[in-house]
Every structure is written in structure tokens, then in C-alpha cells.
A and B are shown apart, each in its own frame.
Chain A
Amino acid sequence: MTTKAGYEQVLDGSDTNVAQFERRHHTVLERVQHILHNNPTFVPVIVLMLSLVAFWIIAGGRFFSAFNLSLIMQQVSIIGMLAAAQSLIIITAGIDLSVAAIMILMSVIMGNLAVNFGVPPTIAIIVGVIGGMLAGAMNGLLITKIKLPPFITTLGTWSIFFALNLWLSGAQSIRSQDIDEHAPLLKFFGNAINVGGARITFGVILMIVIFVVLWYMLNKTAWGRHVYAIGDDMEAAEMSGIRTERTLVSVYMLAGLVCAVAGWASIGRVGSISPQSFYEGNLQSITAVVIGGISLFGGRGSIMGALFGALIVGVFQSGLRMAGVDVLWQVFAIGWLIIIAVAIDQWIRRVSA
């Protein structure tokens, strides 16, 4: 220390300890808060376990059978895939209201091409998947180039994609028999393997594969770190050398791709192609993401949380139905789940070091 300004000379004699605060004994609650802050997926995992046990007790063995649990997986598979796409967007601090609309539009395109126009199903599926990426690119470009807020952009594209879907389909469903006759490949994800009473559809396997691949991309690649950095602090990400616009567009395109693949899987799940199906898919995907502990403010949470979030919703619906509770109370319960999930997220964020 050579040329210290005069008034700082006294620092040499100063106390060299950094500010010490009384080391208060951490309460159990504070420790829990810390653990949850470091591991954001713990909450949904615990809630999922508890709800499984609770409904086992309430609704009995029929609920906890291999068949029923695999049925819950089937029921959440499509919303689960949409939630995976939604998670990508929400981690960047955005929101995508058009996920379900992209999914339905692409399933209608695939169905129309393959069933009504005699295009080979493989080509129809490829066109649909590329269409999903283009729809995502449209969202991404509007958000990055024209600087529109994601909420407004996707509110608009939701209507646009939904209208296109009604126009292309003539508001008509494509019947199951017609799909079987012309393009059985479209129903590929409805196939299942049966193991000990459980019926695992290919759609369920696809959903899990999608989550694992996206988890890998988000956590083990530079692209994934950039996605989190953008959601955390866009300006800081830009200044530390991330090409934020390009990354954001890629996120929306990837989400669009996942939605299109979900569209293909939905044909196997539903059996037919209906332009009116999954109309609440957007909100259900956001519900799964929020219950899964992914912060709506971006940059925090694991995509696996969305999988658990979707499963929690499925478990509640199935369990309450089996316990003989009216449907309206299922909706009521999901509402509380959302509010509690966000409240817990806020509490965890207030963690003190």
C-alpha cells in the first residue's frame, strides 16, 4: 500500500475484521428456506409425494394402482409437453399464451395434409414441425426486433393461430377412422406398452424424453446458461457478451417445435383431430410451470419442476374425482395450488444469506 490518500492513512490501524454480526442460531424454518433456495424443485417433489400419499389414504388402493397412476401420466402428457415449452419461455422472463394454439394449428396442418390431401404422413409431420418453429420464430422476432412485450405478442398470435386453425380445418374435426385409414403414423404416440397393469403410452415416454433433453440443454450447455442469464438480467446478459436477441429467438423457435411435436402426440392421445380441443392448454401449461416452482420473473427454477407441476395437477384431479368430489372443487383446489406455489416462490426469494 504505497500512495494512500492522507485521510485514509488511519485505515492501517483499523480493525481488519469484516463486519461481523451476531451469529444468530438459524431456525429450522430458515434452514429449510435455504435448502429450497438452492434446490427449487424440492417443493413440487415434496408436494407431489404428499398428495400421492394423501389421496392414497382418502381414495384408497384404486387410486394408487399402477393402472391409475399410468392413466394420470397419460392425462398430463400433452399439457406436460406444453409446460416444457412454456418453461423455456418463462425462464427468459417471458410468457407464451400461444403454445396451445400452435399445437392445435400444427396438428390440424398435419391431419389435413395427410388425410385430406394424401400427402405422405412423414412429410405432413415434418411440415407441421417446421410450421411450429416458424410460428415460434414469429413470436420471437416480434418480441426482439419490434420490441413488443411477450404477453401482448403472444396474446395476438394466439388469436391469429387459432383463427388460422379454424380456417384450415373448416371448424371440422378429422375423424379417428379416417386417420387410421390414411395416416396411422399420426397416431403413433397413442401406442402403448403394458407393464404389470400400467399402460405407458409412447406419448408419456415422449414427454419424459422432451423434459430430459431440455433439462440437459438448459443445464449442461452454454446456450442454456445464456437462457438463464437473459431471464435473470437481460441488460447484464447483453453486456457480458451474450447475443440476447438471437438466443431469445432460438428459445421461441424451440418452444414452437416442442408445441408442434405435442400436436402430433395429441392426435394419438385424443384419437381424432379437433380444432376446438385443448382450448385451455395455454393456461394449464402456465399453471403447471408455476406450481413447479419456476419463477414468473425469470432466471430461476428447473424445467423438471414443470413436469412435477403437471403431475401434481393430474394427481389432484384424479384423486378428487375418485374421492367423489364435484368437478368444481377440483378447479377450486388447483386455484389454491397456484396461489400457494407463488407465495412459496416469493418466500424462498427473500432468503437471507
Chain B
Amino acid sequence: MTPVVSAKGIVKRYGHVTAIDHADFELRPGEILAVIGDNGAGKSSIVKAICGATVPDEGEIQIEGKPVKFSSPIEAREMGIEIVYQNLALSPALSIADNMFTGRELRKPGFMGKFFRMLDKPAMEKFAREKLTELGLMTVQSIKQPVETLSGGQRQGVAVARAAAFATKFIIMDEPTAALGVKESRKVLELIKDVRARGIPIILISHNMPHVFEVADRIHIHRLGKRLCTIDPKDYTMSDAVAFMTGAKEPPAQDTV
């Protein structure tokens, strides 16, 4: 089976600092791949290289077997790769519907759309409402309400729904539960599993071991700028994973699973 993402020998240097040191990366169809690592291990850097936020100095990245060279996340997005950023990348004063369509707005058909570039707000609102309903998030009063009036969990829901609605290849989620309470985290984890059930693979960057072990199919452990190993969460305990990523314990051979 061709991996969805396959990266080999990625290197990224900032002056004297090597953020990524000949790192490999693989995401397989339909899986949730958790990426864990100590602070500064470079887990964000490798994911940024995959989605075009940084351009690696060396190495090759393939998406579904085809080599790609993204120079911005916008290019990655055009290929159907969506990112849920830790700070969510939502505009607080704009409505839920506006936020879901930022950068890919729908225009009215016919004359008004073509010559006056008028937005098709009813269509955008209908689509946003459908997507939120599918993910069981339509607890908000109105799709037109500004995002700043939502709770933290609801905002996270909007960001995940936006990604799920437009992703065709895969979704990257950066610490989706970090800012949430226990119950809201639970809701977001269910959401992540829902998205996987639709066949969209997910790269999950997280610090939260219980969450990682609950949802991940495989765990990519990053240490000192490279992939240390990947493990199956069913074969190891959380303490093992922490031991590997801090260097307290020898890892299994690379790519055991």
C-alpha cells in the first residue's frame, strides 16, 4: 500500500541549529499517526516541512507516491491537506460560516458573482451548518454568530469541522486538546475518531499521552531532530513511550510497525 506521506532524509538548518536532522516520516492510509517528542525535539519542524510551512534544505517528500515541493501551506491546501493549528487560525470577529470558508469563498452563480464578485452567503451558511451537524456540533445558536462568542471547545470544533470538510488527503492537528478541559477534550477526541472513520488519515501532534494512546494507530517518536522509532500503542505502555522520547530507554529498531 502506498503511504499517504513518505518523507526521507529531511534536513532543515537555521544557522548553526539543525532543527531536522535527516528525519524520515510516513503516514499510511486511514490511520491516526501521533507524533510525540520532548520540547525542542523538532516534531513541529518536521510537520511544518510536510505541509509547506517551511521548505526543507534536503530530502524528498512524496504524497501518494508523487514527489512534491510545497513553498507555502496554501499550496498544500490546494492539494487537499488541511491543518488545524494550535491557535486555530480563526478570525474572532467573523462568523462561523465566514471562518469555514476563509480563502475559498463561494461566489453567487451568474452575473452578480461573475461581475460583482458577490459572495453566496446562503450557500456558505447551509454548507457550514451541514458540516457542523454531521460532526454533532450544531449546539451553537447560529451559524452567523461571531467565533469570539463560542467556548474553547466549540471553536476547536469549528476548526476541526473546517479541516474535515475540505481535506481530501490528510489532516494535521497540532495539540488539539492542549487548551481544553476534560470534557471538551473528550468531545474533540471523539471528533478525531469520527474523521478517521470517514477514511481521512490524521497526523496528531500531542503532549498528552493518555490522548495519544487512546486514539493513535501508530506513534512516531521524535528525538533530537530525527525519527527515533515508530511504535504500536498496543505493544508499549505510556511510560515506555516517555522513556524512549527522553532517551531513558533504548528504542526498538526503527520502523518496527
Q: Which residues of A contact B (CB under 8 A)?
A: 1, 3-5, 7-8, 11, 14, 18, 216, 220-223, 225-226, 228-229, 232-233, 235-237, 239-243, 299-300, 353
In the complex, the chain A residue whose C-beta lies closest to that of B162 is A240
- Taken together as a complex, chains A and B put the C-alpha atoms of A14 and B182 apart, in Å, by 11
In the complex, the chain A residue whose C-beta lies closest to that of B98 is A225
Please state if B182 and A240 are interface contacts (CB–CB under 8 Å).
Answer: no
Task: Find B102's partner among A3, A220, A242, A299 (CB 8 Å cutoff).
Answer: A242
23 chain-A/chain-B pairs, Cβ below 8 angstroms: A1-B190, A5-B211, A5-B214, A7-B210, A8-B210, A11-B186, A18-B183, A220-B118, A220-B119, A221-B119, A222-B119, A225-B102, A228-B94, A229-B94, A229-B102, A232-B94, A236-B89, A239-B89, A240-B90, A241-B77, A242-B102, A242-B103, A243-B74
Please state if A239 and B83 are interface contacts (CB–CB under 8 Å).
Answer: yes
B85 at the interface (CB under 8 A from A): yes
- Taken together as a complex, chains A and B put the C-alpha atoms of A300 and B92 apart, in Å, by 10
In the complex, the chain B residue whose C-beta lies closest to that of A1 is B190
Indicate whether A299 sits within 8 Å of B91 (C-beta atoms), given known contacts A5-B210, A222-B105, A240-B99.
yes
Q: Which 8 A-B pairs have the closest CB atoms?
A: A241-B103, A222-B105, A239-B89, A5-B210, A229-B91, A240-B102, A232-B91, A236-B89
Indicate whether A8 sits within 8 Å of B91 (C-beta atoms), given known contacts A241-B77, A243-B74.
no
Please state if B214 and A3 are interface contacts (CB–CB under 8 Å).
Answer: yes
B93 at the interface (CB under 8 A from A): yes
- Taken together as a complex, chains A and B put the C-alpha atoms of A225 and B146 apart, in Å, by 13
Please state if A232 and B92 are interface contacts (CB–CB under 8 Å).
Answer: yes
B149 at the interface (CB under 8 A from A): yes
Please state if A239 and B73 are interface contacts (CB–CB under 8 Å).
Answer: yes
Which residues in B have their C-beta under 8 angstroms from that of A299? 91-93
Which residues in A have their C-beta under 8 angstroms from that of B93? 228, 232, 299-300
Which residues in A have their C-beta under 8 angstroms from that of B85? 239
Which residues in B have their C-beta under 8 angstroms from that of A226? 102-103
CB B24 to nearest CB in A, in angstroms, measures: 26
B213 at the interface (CB under 8 A from A): yes
Please state if B91 and A233 are interface contacts (CB–CB under 8 Å).
Answer: yes
B51-68 vs A, Cβ < 8 Å mask (1 yes, 0 no): 000000000000000000
CB B16 to nearest CB in A, in angstroms, measures: 24
CB B194 to nearest CB in A, in angstroms, measures: 12
CB A245 to nearest CB in B, in angstroms, measures: 11
B104 at the interface (CB under 8 A from A): yes
B107 at the interface (CB under 8 A from A): yes
- Taken together as a complex, chains A and B put the C-alpha atoms of A353 and B149 apart, in Å, by 6
Q: Which of B183-208 contact A (CB under 8 A)?
A: 183, 186, 190
Which residues in B have their C-beta under 8 angstroms from that of A1? 190
